[in-house]
Structure 1
Amino acid sequence: MNSPLKKQYDVVIVGGGPAGLAAALSARKSGAGDILIIEREVEAGGILNQCIHSGFGLHHFKEELTGPEYAERFIGSVLSENVTVLTNSYVIDISPALQVEIISGQCGYLSLQARAVVLAMGCRERTRGAIRTPGFRPAGVMTAGLAQKLVNMKGLLPGRRIAILGSGDIGLIMARRLALEGCDVVGVYEFSPYSSGLTRNVVQCLDDFDIPLHLSATVAFIHGRDRVDHLTIAPVINQSTPDLSRSWDVDCDTLLLSIGLIPENELSTKLRLHMDAATGGPQVSSTLETSLPGVFACGNVLHVHDIVDFVSEESLRAGQFAAELAMGKRRPGDNIALQKGANIASCVPHSLSPDREQVIYLRVKQPMKNCTLTLGDRYEKKFRMLIPAEMIRLTLAPEVLDHYFGDNLKIEVHPQEVE
């Protein structure tokens, strides 16, 4: 904590990861006075602190950085703006009047008044219980993110012969990381017929290290009494049922789970925010305000992003709008409802306003080649390839939206017509 706590803040931000840091910096630059970040870990930076690989910052800083380098730049900027950062602390409740209740390792129980709140708690990994993998419960089964923390921050190896279930980006990156540490990565097994990670990570983390990727395959049984000693792998029929008649065994001592990320939304559900079943996060307007007035959401707690640069971009907007509200400026309500159409899995935000440029993030349901994305009858964009793992980012000028004032705007993706 870099300054004494006050009883009232213009903007209180829950989470000191990349989203919370960007929101705080933007809130300050937008005129907010007293700003407080509440972070549960002992230092700010979030998941970036354990992501020592490069590849961050290409969009935001126009250069390639490691995760800690990216976090350090934002932390330095936030501290230079005299934003208060309260670490080792948890928000336990927020009232409709924006009274924030906190449990802090430094200060005990606190109750603070906020003029605006930004939710930036990030996301968490799905665990074995989420997919109910059958078998025993030996040591050696963990999420890829935990393995990343053990290797990069604790200097410990999770095992020597590693199998990875799921092809999420963290799992792909850890396949490479463990191979570099001398471990034998026996394979990555993905339930779907396509990778759930970015294409660049499949190439750089698996192909470049000759690590096999088995699509339409899953772990059918975990064997081992004290520690994992082998797995039964089975091909998947029609993306639904493992075919045990064609299963095979793989020797390993560790199973890493990279089976998806979900927004950290216990606080959001406690606040009874309107939620989006597709993203797992709150529904938000074009200003990133939730259904509870004065509460905004951004980053991975809103919807899981591919790259941290887009988290920062979105969170900068959330901080700006939260600061405006705290200073008594409320923008006109949205008047265009955004609707998912053919082949669209999710889209954020959930409504739009033609009074300014809008940014929309969306994902498709399945891989598609040579397709056209349309928004109503006024906008279309052609793509050679779209996959669920890679988020689509669209920027819409106000004149595109004027036509849909007070209407519904449907987003769809269709195969291109052959002339």
Structure 2
Amino acid sequence: MRSCDLVIIGGGPAGLAAAVAAKKKGINDILVIERDERLGGILNQCIHNGFGLHTFKEELTGPEYADRFIRQVQELGIVCQTNSMVLNITSEKKVTVLSRTEGMQDIQAKSIILAMGCRERPRGALNIPGYRPQGIYTAGTAQRLVNMEGYLPGKEVVILGSGDIGLIMARRMTLEGAHVQVVAELMPYSGGLKRNIVQCLEDYGIPLKLCHTVIDIKGKQRLEGVTLAEVDENGRPIPGTEEEYCCDTLLLSCGLIPENELSQGMGVRMNPVTNGPVVDESLETSIPGVFACGNVLHVHDLVDFVSEEAKCAGECAADYILGQLDKAGKRGIAIEVEGGIRYTVPAEILPERMRGNLKVRFRVGNVYRNCYISVYLDEKRIAHKRKQIVTPGEMEEVILEKEQLEGASRPEKIRIVLECGEKQD
């Protein structure tokens, strides 16, 4: 068994940013483990632009954004092991890795950062009736085929789900010469960013049908068509609303699931809403010295936010290794949510460990208009921000100041509330 100060699981945007931050904080013994043959994660297949506006103040493609961090990792001399699969992590932070070149390894880490990213929800989880013919792909698989393998999956396309990957692939398939007939969305709102709806659908005349889903798949060997139907408020198809589409390709963009099998296996406390770990203000999980960031923690809409979060995780992991991050005997303050807010990251705050202002991110569970986001310390309201619209597809945030949470005025609980129909003070 070898030992290592910091082991980072995942060499995507979160893992790379965390590694750079930890190195700059003085941690030299760092190992980044990546299962793919190259670093960069999902960014390698995201050849569209729009990345880096917050982080680098310029518009980059996915590979360009990844390259910025890969170069930093190389310049800092951080060790990265690709083509390696982590099989198990124990609560004592022992990592078991299987590598093509190194074989089976056991690595004892002082600290671990979980940055495994997320995966797409497969068709099997959607319970669509019909056969299983060729021509059905998740949107991410199709993106890899088109952008990295040079293979166009089909010519006549229907997309189920309006997540950002599905919206982007509607445009990408169109640019490659395919005909995208429709994007169907089960919910009464899109799960993607507004800018993607405009730039990927409206600019190309691709219709978006809300409250619609696929109820049947035609074809045995190769996909021949699908049947769409409108659904009621319970998600059940409405008889008489069926529409037939002849197509050879169905792309599924029906949500992302954080890759947390390793986290669950080591006993990390999980959030049933995000399917990611429960973390505090330092992004530390319920196991001391184990941190989480990026899409393994909660699904982000912008990679810039992933990098910002990962920087915090890397710095806090470094502080833990250096003995500067202790919560022994300290009582955290839980964050409660109300009024349509689904979760927050972090879910708990230890004011003594805050390094200044803390950004709390969250998502809502529906579309709300003309509302207010309010923050309460016990019963005292300290923030009241008006929002014209909030949607599930875009993350929201509030800022908490350290001075408000510590000392004699330390609250017992923090509440973040979505208040609709309230007049501004």
Q: TM-score, normalised by structure 1?
A: 0.96
Deviation at 1:220, TM superposition (A): 0.5
3-state SS of the aligned residue for 2:223?
A: coil
Pairing 1:396–2:400 present: yes
Matches within 5 A, 1:249-328: 249-328=244-323
Identity %: 50
Could you tell me which residue of structure 2 aligns to residue 129 of structure 1? 124
2:110 pairs with 1:106? no
Cα distance between partner residues in 2 of 1:304 and 1:418: 32
Query: AA paired with 1:382?
Result: R
2:363 pairs with 1:363: yes
Point out the more displaced range, 350-359 or 311-320: 350-359
Greater alpha carbon shift after TM alignment, 204-213 vs 267-276: 267-276
Contact preservation (8 Å) 2:15, 2:310: yes
Structure 1 residue 414, shift from structure 2 partner? 1.1
Are 1:208 and 2:203 matched, yes or no? yes
1:374–1:411 contact (8 Å) kept in structure 2 = yes
The answer to whether structure 1 residue 346 and structure 2 residue 343 are counterparts is: yes
1:91-122 Cα distance to aligned partner (Å, 9 max, x none): 11122221211111110001111110000000
Tell me if structure 1 keeps the 8 A contact 2:15–2:32: yes
SS at 1:245's partner residue?
Answer: coil
Distance 2:369 2:157 in 1: 34
Q: 1:384 aligns with which of 374, 381, 388?
A: 388
SS in 2 for 1:175: helix
Larger deviation: 23-32 or 87-96? 87-96
CA shift for structure 1 position 418:
4.4
RMSD: 1.3
In the alignment, does 2:155 pair up with 1:160?
yes
Residue 59 (1) aligns with residue 84 (2): no
Task: Choose which of 27, 31, 35 in structure 1 pairs with 2:26.
Answer: 31
6-15 or 79-88, which moves further after superposition?
A: 6-15
One-letter amino acid of the counterpart of residue 32, structure 1: I
- CA distance in structure 2 between the partners assigned to 1:81 and 1:220 by the alignment: 53
Deviation at 1:184, TM superposition (A): 0.5
Residue of structure 1 equivalent to 2:182: 187
Alpha carbons 1:164, 1:258 under 8 Å: kept: yes
What's the secondary structure of 2:304's corresponding residue? helix
Q: Which amino acid aligns with 2:375?
A: L
| Equivalences, count | 414
1:183-230 superposed Cα distances (whole Å, 9 cap, x missing partner): 000000000111110000000000000000000000001111111101
Deviation at 1:323, TM superposition (A): 0.8
Task: Specify the SS of the correspondent of 1:278.
Answer: coil
Task: Indicate how the Cα distance of structure 1 residues 404 and 231 shifts in structure 2: closer, same or farther if over 3 A, else same.
Answer: farther
2:214 maps to: 219
Q: CA deviation at 1:404?
A: 6.3
**1:219-258 pair list within 5 angstroms:** 219-258=214-253
1:131 Cα deviation after fit: 1.3
Distance of aligned partners of 1:344 and 1:379 in 2 relative to their CA distance in 1, 3 Å threshold: same
Give the gaps of 5 or more residues in structure 2.
Answer: none
Query: What is the distance in 2 between the residues matched to 1:171 and 1:107?
Result: 38
Aligned partners of 2:279 and 2:345 also within 8 Å:
yes
Q: CA deviation at 1:329?
A: 1.8
AA in 1 matched with 2:343? S
Residue in structure 2 matching 1:415, options 405, 416, 420: 420
The letter of the residue matching 1:363 is R
Give the whole-Å Cα distance in 1 for the aligned partners of 2:409 and 2:367. 29
Aligned-residue offset at 1:239: 4.1
Range moving further from structure 2, 395-404 or 375-384 = 395-404
Offset of residue 393 of structure 1? 2.2
CA 1:239/1:179 → structure 2, altered by over 3 Å: closer, same or farther? farther
SS in 2 for 1:163: strand
Give distance in 2, aligned partners of 1:244 and 1:8: 62
Q: Is the 8 A contact 2:90 2:265 kept in 1?
A: no
Counterparts of 1:103 and 1:170, CA distance in 2 = 31
Counterpart in the other structure of 1:3: none
Tell me if structure 2 keeps the 8 A contact 1:193–1:239: no
Residues 379, 400 of structure 1: 8 Å contact kept = no
- Provide the rounded CA distance (Å) in 1 between the counterparts of 2:25 and 2:331: 21
Contact 2:91 2:267 (C-alpha < 8 Å) held by counterparts: no
Q: Which amino acid aligns with 1:371?
A: C
- Equivalent pair of 2:161/2:184 in contact (CA under 8 Å): yes
Residue aligned with 2:98, SS: strand
Q: 1:109 to 1:176 in 2, by over 3 A?
A: same
User: Equivalents in 2 of 1:220, 1:404: separation in Å?
Assistant: 56
Structure 1 counterpart of 2:322, one-letter code: M
Which amino acid is 1:407 matched to? E
Q: Which amino acid counterpart does residue 117 of structure 1 have in structure 2?
A: I
Structure 1 position 77, deviation (Å): 0.2
Counterpart Cα distance in 1 of 2:41 and 2:188: 32
